[in-house]
Amino acid sequence: MNRRQFVYRSAAGLAWLASAQREQAADQKKLRVGMIGCGWYGKTDLFRLIQVSPVEVVSLCDVDSRMLADAAELTSQRQASHKKPRTYGDYRKMLAEKDLDIVLVDTPDHWHALAMIEAVKSGADVWCQKPISRDVIEGQAMLATARKHNRVVQIGLQRRSTPHLVDAREKVVQAGKLGKVGLVEIYCYYHMRATSNPPDTAPPPNLNYDMWTGPAPMRPYNALVHPRGWREFMEYGNGIMGDMGVHMFDMVRWMMNLGWPKRISSSGGILVQHSKANISDTQLATFDYDDVKIVWQHRTWGNPPDPKYTWGADLYGDKGTLKASVYSYDFIPTDKHASPIHQDVTYELEQYPEDRTEKDLELQCAPAIRHHMLNFLAAIATRGKPVADIEQGYISTASCILANLSMKTGRTMAWDPEKGRVIGDAEANHLLARTYRDPWVHPTPENV
């Protein structure tokens, strides 16, 4: 194992990388950063980057002028220069400057593909939030663009950089303590789906709703949608499967060194909570790896089976079980004479006291994002692949989208990774690309 592999794979490597980055910060070139999408998680990602590297945030873009102005002011307070970034309402104008080393794409999901592709073409390395795309063909185009232009692209699947989960992977899964794993249950039982039915209204004057909608279908504006509520609608995202499921599915793939599932099946729908939201409130999915089955379940109603683990993964082996979440992990050995292992998230509040007062920050996720940013920066420095490289993001995202297509069609999706198509299902293959609203043009691997 070389040093780079050590850094990517181990908890000790994460600590080493964090220390090295901090020690070298004074000598680093100040990378010029721009961000597209200045809402909740955009600021969360950006401020973690500022914490671990002496970057200069020079450009911000958002279609909500109020959100944009707020982000610019907060950024000036957080970065060392205290300079206020330039602001744009159209990402194309920001990228046309061609003066950015890093671009963060933190838009709603339906905008990820077009923004990421143009950022890569502008010469920047890119951090893109998960899921990488709204449909499968977008993901293929994003991967093709990154490879064509030799850019580093890190996807916000930060479970791969969560310190206690890196520890669980190293000390439990890779150490063989689970024995043969035959079943993994991944799940989310958060009551996170909207149950209200506010009336449609005119969009607020600070929001360019036409640009916000972009390539998605034009729906009447509703207060549920913006900010943050767009996840309630399949027009803009991939439901809870694509929002929460992709994290845990990707984490398990990383822990177990898994690639594409052979077959994907899913069922569910809106079974209990009928409201204006059109994402499912209940869904089951099986990602079939022949001798390993990964089973997803979400329910936005009722009680969770284990109140301590309400969003996580349970890996079942013949020698023990691993329960893992963003808050902790527990290894429960089958042998009563063996020692269980428990570890909680480390919040790093002494090193980063500003976390305590940052509005809307998910404290348990802050360390993971910081380490994920450090991994991204290390890949930029070496021109290597980050731990959540665009290809890994494509596999995890497309698999979750295929689960949604299985639920939609009522059929199992058998996937051909080489051809990038569902085997023997013309209807499913037609659904791999959504229809874009004019004048936006759907990207494909051939036209990027």
Q: What is the pLDDT of residues 84-118, one digit of tens each?
A: 999 999 999 999 999 999 999 999 999 999 999 99
> What sign results for the dihedral spanned by CA atoms 221, 223, 227, 230?
negative
Does any domain span residue 330? no
Under DSSP, the state recorded for 284 is E
44 within 8 A of 104, measured Cβ to Cβ: no
Percentage of the chain with pLDDT > 70?
Answer: 94
CA distance 7 to 176: 20
For residue 221, give both structure tokens.
Answer: 């504006």
Does any domain span residue 83? yes
Q: What is the pLDDT of residues 207-220, one digit of tens each?
A: 999 999 999 999 99
Output the average pLDDT for the chain. Answer: 95
Does any domain span residue 253? no
348 within 8 A of 365, measured Cβ to Cβ: no
> What is the mean pLDDT of the segment spanning 394-402?
98
373 within 8 A of 49, measured Cβ to Cβ: yes
Q: What is the pLDDT of residues 344-390, one digit of tens each?
A: 999 999 999 999 999 999 999 999 999 999 999 999 999 999 999 99
Does any domain span residue 418? no
Q: What is the pLDDT of residues 276-299, one digit of tens each?
A: 999 999 999 999 999 999 999 999
Checking if the pLDDT of 316 tops 80, the result is yes
Q: What is the pLDDT of residue 10?
A: 56
For residue 340, give both structure tokens.
Answer: 């269980």
Instruction: Describe the chain by its helix, strand, coil percentages, rounded to 5.
Output: 40, 20, 40
> What is the mean pLDDT of the segment spanning 389-415?
98
Range of the domain at 374: 3-160+365-391
AA letter at 77: Q
Checking if the pLDDT of 8 tops 50, the result is no
> What is the mean pLDDT of the segment spanning 105-134?
98
> What is the mean pLDDT of the segment spanning 311-340?
97
For position 57, which CATH number holds?
Answer: 3.40.50.720
Q: What is the pLDDT of residues 220-261, one digit of tens each?
A: 999 999 999 999 999 999 999 999 999 999 999 999 999 999
For residue 263, give both structure tokens.
Answer: 């077959």
How many domains does the structure of the chain reveal? 1
Does any domain span residue 100? yes
Q: What is the pLDDT of residue 1?
A: 40
Checking if the pLDDT of 197 tops 60, the result is yes
Q: What is the pLDDT of residue 24?
A: 45
- Using CB atoms within 10 Å of the CB of residue 194, give its burial: 0 to 12 exposed, 13 to 18 middle, 19+ buried: middle
Checking if the pLDDT of 2 tops 90, the result is no
Q: What is the pLDDT of residue 29?
A: 76
> What is the mean pLDDT of the segment spanning 254-279?
97
Strand runs labelled E in 233-354: 263-269, 282-288, 293-299, 311-317, 320-325, 328-333, 341-344
CB atoms within 10 A of CB 150: 9
Does any domain span residue 282? no
- Token look-up 């969360």 returns 44
Does any domain span residue 344? no
Checking if the pLDDT of 26 tops 60, the result is no
Does any domain span residue 144? yes
CA distance 297 to 282: 7
Q: What is the DSSP string of 63-129?
A: SBHHHHHHHHHHHHHHSTT-PPPEEES-HHHHHHT---SEEEE-S-GGGHHHHHHHHHHTT-EEEEP
Strand runs labelled E in 229-273: 263-269
